[in-house]
Amino acid sequence: MAGQVAIGSRSGLRSALPLLLPAYLWLTVAIFLPLSAMVFFSFMTELPLSGKAWAFTLDNYTAFFSQGLYLTLLLASLRLGLEVTLWCIVIGYPAAYVLAKVLKGRSREAIFLLVILPFWSNGLVRIFSWAMVLREGGILDTALNAVLPFKINIDLMYSYPAVIIGLVHSYVPYMVLTCYLTLQAIDDSLIEAGRSLGASRLQMLKRVIIPLSMPGLVAGAALIFVPVVGSFMEPRILGGRTGTFYGTVIEDQFVAVFNWPLGAALSFILLAVVLAILALAAPVLRRAA
Amino acid sequence: MAGVQVSNVSRSFGAHKALDDVSIDFADGGFYALLGPSGSGKTTLLRQIAGFDFPDSGRIAIGGESVERVPVEKRRIGMVFQNYALFPNMSVADNVAFGLSVRGEAKAVIAAEVQRALDLVQLGKLGGRRPHQLSGGQRQRVALARAIVTKPRVLLLDEPLGALDKALRVDMQIELKRIQREIGITTIFVTHDQEEALTMSDRIGILRDGRLVQEGPPEEIYDSPKSEFAATFLGDANILRGDSTGNGIRLADGTTIAAGAGVSLAAGTKASCAVRPERIRIATDAGSTVQANGNVLRGQVSKRIFAGNNSTYFVERDGQTLKVIVQNTGIERLAEGQDVMLSWSPESTVLIAAS
Ligand SMILES: Nc1ncnc2c1ncn2[C@@H]1O[C@H](COP(=O)(O)OP(=O)(O)OP(=O)(O)O)[C@@H](O)[C@H]1O
Ligand SMILES: [Mg+2]
C-alpha cells in the first residue's frame, strides 16, 4: 500500500517535471546565480571586476558589529517597517472589509480600481507627487490654509512622517489585496449566523472575522514589512537628512561608494535578521490564525 | 417561546416581487413547514422573520410584539442555515458555546449548557473536533445544537436536510422532530421536499411566486387543495378540466364528474377536478364492478411502472394521460395496450376553480 502510494507520487513528480522546469530554470538564472555571486562578493576585500588585487575576508561582516551605526540604523529600519506595516493594517484592513463585505457590483469595482491605482503608477512619480503635496507652500499647506481661519505652517517634507506617508501609500495595496481575498472567502451566512446568536458587529469582528482573515493579514504584513525594512527610495527622497536608514546605507555602498562587498554583506545581515524575525513570528501567528 | 405573526408582508428586489402580501400565523410551539418551488420566496420570508432583511410593507410580530425595529441579535431566534454556517476557526464545543459566550455567561454555566445541547443531538463526545472533521449529518446536528442552546423563542430552519442522502435524511427528520417536541419550540422549516413537509409538520404553507397559495394542516391541504398548483405540488394529482355543473364538472365529451369536496361554483364556469392517483380503481373494461354513483372513465393502459409494493399505470383517455397507483396485493396485472375502466368516488374528487 505504502509502496504503491510512493510509486504513484514519484511518477506524478516525473510527469510534473516538464511543467516545473521553466520555473526552476528561471529561478536559477534570475535569482540563484546573482545571489550566489553576491554571497561570494560579500567575503572579498575588493570587487574582482575593478582590476585591483583581492582576497577573502570576513571584515565586511565584522564591520557591522564593530560600528554601532549599522546596528542603530538597522533598528531604525525595523521600527520603520513595523510602523508602516501597522499603518497599512489600520488603513488597509477596513478598506478591504468594506470592499469585500459592504460594497456590491459597480461601486466595488470603482473603489477597487482606486485602491490598486498606486500599484500601477511609477514609484518615482508616486514619491515626487507626495513631495509636491507635503512641502511648505505645497498642495496640503495651501489647501489647509485656504480652509482654516488661522494661519498654520505645514511642512512635512524631509521628515520621518513624510517617509511613513510615502511608504504607506506605496505598500497599502498589498494589505488591501491580501485581506480582500481572505475576507471575500468568508461566507456571509457565517456573519448572519453569529448575529442571530446574539453577537454584536464588534463581537463578530473580534471572534470570527479577524481570526478567519488572519492568513491575509499575515501575508500582507510579510509582503510589506520585508521590503520596507530595506527600502531606500522613499527615505531618500521624502526624508532628506532624516531619511538615513539601513537601506539607504546599503544603496550608498553600491551606487556612491562602490564598496560592493560591504553592501552585499550588509544586505545578507538584513536578510538573516528578517528571516529570523519571520521564523520567530510564525508559530505565534499560526496559533492566532 | 412565542408564536410568530406575519401580516401582509411584501418585499421586492427591483421590479421582482419576492414576497407579495404574505400573511401567516405561526402558532406557539408548532412545527410549520414552508413549501414551494425554487425562487418562490421561502428563504426571503425566513430572512424577514430573522431580521437579516426587512419588508417593504407589512408587519412581523414575535411573541405578540412587533419586531420592526429590533435588530437580529435582539430577536432571540435560532437559525440553521442550509450550509450549516459553522465557524471553521472554532471547535464544535466553541461553536455551540458562541451564543452563550457573547452574552457573557459564566464559564461553568456555558460548559454545562453546551454539554447538554451536544448530548441532546447525540454528539456529546465530539466537542473537541473541528467542523471540517465532521460528516454532513454531524455538522447539521452541531448547527442545530448551536441554534437551540441559547433558548431562542423561534427556530428557523432553511432546508437543513437538503445536503443529506435519503437514509440520513430520514434519521435526521426523526431526530429533529424529537428535539423539537422535547423543547417545545416554535419551528419554521423550509423545504423543497413535499414528503418531508407532510411527515414532519403540524401545518404547511405553500408559496408560489412570493404568494401564499394555501395554508393548513397536511391532511387538509392533501385532501382538499384549493388550486391546481396546490394539488399537483403537494403530492400527485390527476387534473380533469371542463365546465362546472355546480357540484362537479362536465368534460368536453359530455361525461360528468361528481365532486364531493372543494368549492361550490356557479354552473357553466370553467372548473377542474383533482383526483389522487391512489384513490382511483382500475379494472379491465369487461364485466367489472362499478360503484353506484361513482365517477367512471374508460381508457387504455399506455405504460406501467412496477415499483415493488405498488404499480403505477398511465392510462390514455381523450388525449389526456391519467395516473393510477395500485397496491400490488394480488397477482393480477394489466398489460400495456389493454382497455380499462377507471372508477373513484365523488368524495375523492375535489372541485377547483380554473386557474
Ligand atoms: N438579495 C436579493 N437580490 C435580488 N433578488 C433576490 C435577492 N434575494 C432573493 N431574490 C429573489 O427573490 C426570489 C425569491 O428568492 P428566495 O431565495 O426567497 O427563494 P427560495 O424560495 O428560497 O428558493 P430556493 O428553494 O431555491 O432556495 C428569487 O427570484 C430570487 O432571485
Ligand atoms: Mg432558499
Digit-coded pLDDT (tens) for A22-70:
888 988 888 888 889 899 989 988 887 777 788 888 888 999 999 889 9
CA atoms lying within 13 Å on the CB side of residue A71: 8
Question: 428586489: which residue's cell?
Answer: B13
d(CA B166, nearest CA chain A) in Å: 25
The per-residue pLDDT for A1 is: 38
B16 C-alpha to ligand 1 centroid (Å): 10
B176 C-alpha to ligand 2 centroid (Å): 19
Q: Are B316 and B300 in contact (CB under 8 A)?
A: yes
Is A269 a member of any domain? yes
* pLDDT tens, per residue, chain B with 355 residues: 589 999 999 999 999 999 999 999 999 999 999 999 999 999 999 999 999 999 999 999 999 999 988 999 999 999 999 889 999 999 999 999 999 999 999 999 999 999 999 988 888 899 999 999 999 889 989 999 999 999 999 999 998 887 777 887 888 888 889 889 888 999 999 998 888 899 899 999 999 999 999 999 999 999 999 999 999 999 899 999 999 988 889 998 888 999 886 677 778 889 999 999 999 998 887 655 555 568 999 999 999 999 888 999 999 998 899 999 999 887 678 888 889 999 999 999 999 987 7
B171 C-alpha to ligand 1 centroid (Å): 29
The per-residue pLDDT for B316 is: 94
Rounded CA gap, B324 and B249, in Å? 20
CA A65 vs. chain centroid, Å, equals 26
Is A79 a member of any domain? yes
The per-residue pLDDT for B193 is: 85
Measured between beta carbons, the chain A residues lying within 8 angstroms of B73 are 195-200
For helices A160-184 and A210-229, the axis angle rounded to 10 degrees is 140
Q: pLDDT grade, residue A288 (50/70/90)?
A: low
- B334 DSSP 8-state letter: P
B170 C-alpha to ligand 2 centroid (Å): 21
Chain A residue at shortest CA distance from B75: A196
Backbone angles phi, psi at B227, to 5 degrees: -150, 160
B272, B276, B277, B278 alpha-carbon torsion, rounded to 10°: -150
B98 touches chain A (CB under 8 A): yes
- Is residue A78 over pLDDT 60? yes
Is A112 a member of any domain? yes
Most distant CA pair in chain B: distance in Å? 79
- Closest in A187, A193, A198 to B103, CB measured: A198
The per-residue pLDDT for A53 is: 81
B179: helix, strand or coil = helix
Number of domains in chain A: 1
Is A46 a member of any domain? no
Question: Who contacts B202 (Cβ-Cβ below 8 Å, separation ≥6)?
Answer: B27, B30, B31, B32, B217
Rounded CA gap, B321 and B155, in Å? 42
Give burial (CB, 10 Å; 0-12/13-18/19+) of A234. Answer: buried
CATH number of B238-353: 2.40.50.100
Hey, are the CB atoms on A196 and B103 less than 8 Å from each other? no
Chain B residue at shortest CA distance from A286: B89
CATH number of the domain that residue A212 is part of: 1.10.3720.10
Is A252 a member of any domain? yes
Is A2 a member of any domain? no
Rounded CA gap, A285 and A213, in Å? 12
**Set of cell numbers at residue B320:** 389526456
Q: What CA–CA distances, in Å, run from B108 to A104, B89, B97, B125?
A: 43, 22, 11, 18
| Percent of residues, chain A, with pLDDT higher than 90 | 49
The per-residue pLDDT for B13 is: 95
Chain B residue at shortest CA distance from A189: B85
DSSP secondary structure string for all residues of B229-254: HHHHHSS--EEEEEEE-SSEEE-TTS
B312: helix, strand or coil = strand
Q: CB contacts < 8 Å between A and B, how many? A: 66
Neighbours of B331 (CB within 10 A): 5
The per-residue pLDDT for A117 is: 81
d(CA A282, nearest CA chain B) in Å: 18
In CATH terms, the fold of domain B4-223 is Rossmann fold (3.40.50)
Rounded CA gap, A91 and A100, in Å? 15
The helix or strand, by DSSP H or E, that contains position B211, with its residue range, turns out to be strand B211-216
- Closest in A193, A203, A212 to B85, CB measured: A193
B68 C-alpha to ligand 1 centroid (Å): 21
For B294-315, write each residue's pLDDT tens digit: 899 999 999 999 988 899 999 9
A148: helix, strand or coil = coil
d(CA A217, nearest CA chain B) in Å: 15
The per-residue pLDDT for A2 is: 41
Rounded CA gap, A19 and B71, in Å? 54
Rounded CA gap, A258 and A237, in Å? 21
The per-residue pLDDT for B290 is: 59
Q: Are A235 and A163 in contact (CB under 8 A)?
A: yes
Provide the residue range defining the domain that includes A88.
Answer: 63-288
- Is residue A6 over pLDDT 50? no
Hey, are the CB atoms on B72 and A192 less than 8 Å from each other? yes
Atom of ligand 1 nearest to the CA of B40: 21
Q: Where in chain B is the domain with CATH 2.40.50.100?
A: 238-353
Rounded CA gap, B189 and B171, in Å? 16
The per-residue pLDDT for B139 is: 93
Rounded CA gap, B242 and B230, in Å? 19
Question: Who contacts A182 (Cβ-Cβ below 8 Å, separation ≥6)?
Answer: A212, A213, A214, A215, A216, A217
Hey, are the CB atoms on B79 and A196 less than 8 Å from each other? yes
Length of chain B: 355
Atom of ligand 1 nearest to the CA of B190: 22
Chain A residue at shortest CA distance from B53: A192
d(CA B217, nearest CA chain A) in Å: 29
d(CA B170, nearest CA chain A) in Å: 25
- Is residue A154 over pLDDT 90? no
A204 C-alpha to ligand 2 centroid (Å): 24
Atom of ligand 1 nearest to the CA of B44: 18
**Set of cell numbers at residue B92:** 464544535
The per-residue pLDDT for A7 is: 46
* Residue to substitute in B22, B44, B54, B161 for testing ligand 1 pocket (most ligand atoms within 8 angstroms of CB): B44
Residues near ligand 1 (Cβ within 6 A): B 13, 16, 18, 36, 38-44, 192
Among B71, B72, B48, B52, which residue's Cα sits nearest to residue B60? B48
**Set of cell numbers at residue B306:** 412496477
Measured between beta carbons, the chain B residues lying within 8 angstroms of A193 are 79, 81, 85-87, 146
Of B45 and A13, the one with more pLDDT: B45
- The bridge status of strand B295-306 relative to strand B339-344 is antiparallel
Rounded CA gap, B276 and B255, in Å? 19
Which amino acid is it at A102? Answer: V
B102 touches chain A (CB under 8 A): yes
